[in-house]
Structure 1
Amino acid sequence: MERSAGVFAPQWRLTSIGIAVAISLFAFEGIAVATAMPSAVRDLDGLAFFGWPYSAFLVMNLVGLGVAGQWCDRVGPRRPLLTGIAVFTVGLVTAGSAGHMAVFVLGRGAQGIGVGLASIAVFQIVAIAYPPHLRPKALAIISAAYVLPALVGPIVSGMITAHVGWRWVFLGLVPLVLAGGVTLLPALRTSPAPGRTSARGSRKPLFALLAGAGVVVVQSAGNALVAGRTTLAVLLLAVGLPALGAGLRELLPRGSVRLRRGVPAVVAVRGLLAGAFYAVESVVPLTLVTLHGFGTVASGLPLLAGALGWWAGAQAQGRIVKVARPSLLRWGLTALACCFVGMAALCLPGAPGWPVYVLWILGGLGMGVCVPTTGVLVLDQSAEDETGANSSALQISDVTAAGLGTSAAGVLVGATAAGSLGFGAGMAVLGVAAAAGCAAAAVGASRTAPVGERTAVGLNHPAP
């Protein structure tokens, strides 16, 4: 009977609702801020610093992720989650009431820390509150919680900004965030503390800050390259890449670059698929407008189709029980690779634009399968006192790769604007590169299985 109960059975209902509400609000804020940002920077006379709120969020989000991992392993999810919600709320109030651009940037930084802390704590709640057979469905809730904000976020935030003011995009979330935290209190009261002590934990925030700064400097190098300032770009890369490498070396599991079997391979695969997906997604509307003459609304609809595909994929992976997780991951990565190859083909002269709707459903389906599956693989291979640190590494890989991927896409777009490359050719190169990354990850998907599985296979099927 226990095994047949779903994630919304009475014993897990409040926890599942709380997770859905909390993640939805974090996702809504991330999507809504893009709509409110132009009005905010104009009102605060901060147009020259337009990118700073995004950079502050990215850097401090990585710091929050770095802090949360070992903190959760040491004391359990209760204090990190409540602290994350409190810091996020302070960030909302600070940004929403800011009278100067510097204060607004501080608010966005606080939001980044809060989301980092709370997201890892939520991940650990999934590990603690649900039995292993329900974890795929619980993680599907997290993926599905991003869909509704993607559907309504731009519309709702646009209406709020136009009719009430941009400040209420932030201030209006405060009571909702607090209410979402309250629904998670029952699960937090029963969550045990793993009791881990780690001498290395105190170094994580510093290395997370170093990695975040490295990402921002590398992105700045890309902008400098687009602007034709090659010398500055080289200098920034000479600073940013070593900083990024040094930070990630401490934050990610040993062997991640080599796709070492187990958690390191899962973390690496998550980075590859996130970097590829978000790089291509960032240029989909621009590609449709530039190459195929689509209007503003029609060019944005593929992102809606992708969100629906993501939801469908997340639900599907939660119900598939007869396929090994590494094989399921390979299926999702293959779907992503096919999507990106198709996107590259649509950039050829004379190609139609309408297939992008089908392709982006396929891409969203692949992400919906892959993202929860990598989460399940990490949780299933983590000891009780390692779930926080490993979950932190997984999300740091995701966030860092997404930032670098969108930056690379921006450099390609800039190169086409400068006339160094035709737009269609540039976007085709991006699609092929993204497909190659997913294909490589698909080949390495078998390495995401635990070390013990390979040993078990060797014992059951000895060599002749």
Structure 2
Amino acid sequence: MTRAGPRSLAAGIVALEFAAAVTSFVASTLLPLVARDLNAEDRLGLLIAGSTLGLFVALPLASRVLARLGARGTLAAGMAAYLGGLVVSATSHSAAVFAWGQLATGLASGLLAVFGVSSAIRHLDDRLRVKVVAASSAMWILPALAGPAATLGLAHLVGWRWTLLLPVPFVLFGRLFVVRAARDEPEPAPRPLGRTLLVPLGAAGVVLSEGRWPLALTGAVVAGAGMVAILPAGTARLRRGTPSALAALVLFAVGYFGADSLITVLLTTGYGQGLGQAAIVLSAAPLAWAVTSLLARRHFPATGLGLTAAGTAVLAIGGPFPVALAAWTAAGIGVGLAYPALYVRASTAGSSGLTATELATAVITAECVGQLLGRAVGGALSSAGGLFASYAVFAVALAAAAAVSRR
């Protein structure tokens, strides 16, 4: 790689993260308009499921695609699937066709994510990777603040179908930088698929459960079994080094993203607040995460995760609105202190024996399946009347992540 290669790669990864943030807020903001236009108000689960399932399908297949197509071929295939999927969704006239288009975009996003992370593992030193992770977190600030309003304004002018294509220029811009740094490198023969296919199967059970929590929990267990097959040996036993860092990443995702998925329900149902106040609390943690990770000169995984656990535990106790706002903001600050260094530790091969592509797949799988588990467990507890109890569980998971991160 040339001297400009690492810089181009870093810029491309950050730009693609910005594109992912724009895509997320555009999709969530347009969902009511899409559902109404496609007469699918009672099929929201199907409209949402496509992109999530596409991501989980990509994870066990990514190493095979990279081995067969190489770096530039994978980038080309990913972009073709992404653009094709958006076009299918934007021109759809039924919920099923829209979901198939979203499945293609999710699949492409998964391939591009594995490629980006594996390239960063190969070509960026730890210090630069910490900066890239921090900058990537900060890329969610502007879309979080301006994305929904800008999306609704554009949809009012040109309709949701054209607005759905809004992320395309940002994705192309990121790909331009990444492709400058990309080069084909020999890939070892991928490991057998085997139980790794349980990941998309279990994910399907969770995202298509539509409130049926026994199905969601069963899907989470199945996805967890597939995750074990992807993560390096010794992860479940908390072996020191990369396996323990990956285990901490799973526990972090269970605790933080599980809590984040229910925060508006907690504020409106548990705290008796209005949707406006709940939205303020909802945005507090991710904004605090992004700003802290960008401005902090040093990062402390155990300390940060401990702070996040404490903030989540306060939410489990209850109290007035200012307490909830302060607690969830503190939780976001903790993530900002913890996440960049934890992510770099989890994506450093060490003695794990994994290739860069396998390690990238393991990192993304750990985080995504952790989110899935947290949301499934939280949904099951809250539906059984244990909304505050679910936050106690999330706090325990985060405290365990803090302890494991010390290994």
Q: Give the TM-score taking structure 2 as reference length.
A: 0.89
Number of positions where the alignment pairs a residue of Structure 1 with one of Structure 2: 404
Distance (whole Å) between structure 1 residues aligned to residue 339 and residue 136 of structure 2 = 10
Distance (whole Å) between structure 2 residues aligned to residue 143 and residue 175 of structure 1 = 20
Matched, 1:22 2:16: yes
Distance (whole Å) between structure 2 residues aligned to residue 72 and residue 141 of structure 1 = 26
Match of 1:402 in 2: 371
Change (3 A) 1:10 1:397: closer
Q: Within 5 Å, give how 1:34-433 maps onto structure 2.
A: 34-69=28-63, 71-72=65-66, 77-188=71-182, 191=183, 193=185, 195-200=186-191, 203=193, 207-218=195-206, 223-225=211-213, 233=214, 236=215, 240=219, 243-316=222-295, 319-320=297-298, 328-345=300-317, 347=318, 351-382=319-350, 386-415=355-384, 421=385, 426-433=386-393
Q: Which runs of 5+ in 1 are unaligned?
A: 1-8, 226-232, 416-420, 448-464
Q: Which moved more, 1:207-216 or 1:357-366?
A: 207-216
Superposed CA deviations along residues 384-405 of structure 1, whole A, max 9, x for unmatched, are 9712211211111111121221
Distance (whole Å) between structure 1 residues aligned to residue 378 and residue 78 of structure 2 = 31
RMSD: 2.8
AA aligned to 2:346 is V
1:199, CA displacement in angstroms?
Answer: 4.8
1:334, CA displacement in angstroms?
Answer: 0.4
1:239, CA displacement in angstroms?
Answer: 6.0
Change (3 A) 1:180 1:411: same
Is the Cα contact below 8 Å between 2:315 and 2:391 reproduced in 1?
yes
Superposed CA deviations along residues 57-83 of structure 1, whole A, max 9, x for unmatched, are 222201212222465578764333332
1:169, CA displacement in angstroms?
Answer: 3.0
Larger radius of gyration: 1
Secondary structure of the 2:253 match is helix
1:137, CA displacement in angstroms?
Answer: 0.8
Secondary structure of the 1:80 match is helix
Distance (whole Å) between structure 1 residues aligned to residue 120 and residue 247 of structure 2 = 22
Q: Give the TM-score taking structure 1 as reference length.
A: 0.79
Is the Cα contact below 8 Å between 1:263 and 1:390 reproduced in 2?
no
Is the Cα contact below 8 Å between 1:58 and 1:112 reproduced in 2?
yes
Change (3 A) 1:78 1:241: same
Is the Cα contact below 8 Å between 2:67 and 2:190 reproduced in 1?
no
Is the Cα contact below 8 Å between 1:53 and 1:109 reproduced in 2?
no
Change (3 A) 1:218 1:18: closer
Distance (whole Å) between structure 1 residues aligned to residue 55 and residue 116 of structure 2 = 15
Superposed CA deviations along residues 163-203 of structure 1, whole A, max 9, x for unmatched, are 43221232222233223211322212xx451x2322525x2
Distance (whole Å) between structure 2 residues aligned to residue 222 and residue 59 of structure 1 = 14
Q: Which runs of 5+ in 2 are unaligned?
A: none
Is the Cα contact below 8 Å between 1:219 and 1:404 reproduced in 2?
no
AA aligned to 1:109 is L
Secondary structure of the 1:171 match is coil
Matched, 1:438 2:398: yes
AA aligned to 1:330 is A
1:358, CA displacement in angstroms?
Answer: 2.0
Match of 1:451 in 2: none
1:339, CA displacement in angstroms?
Answer: 1.0
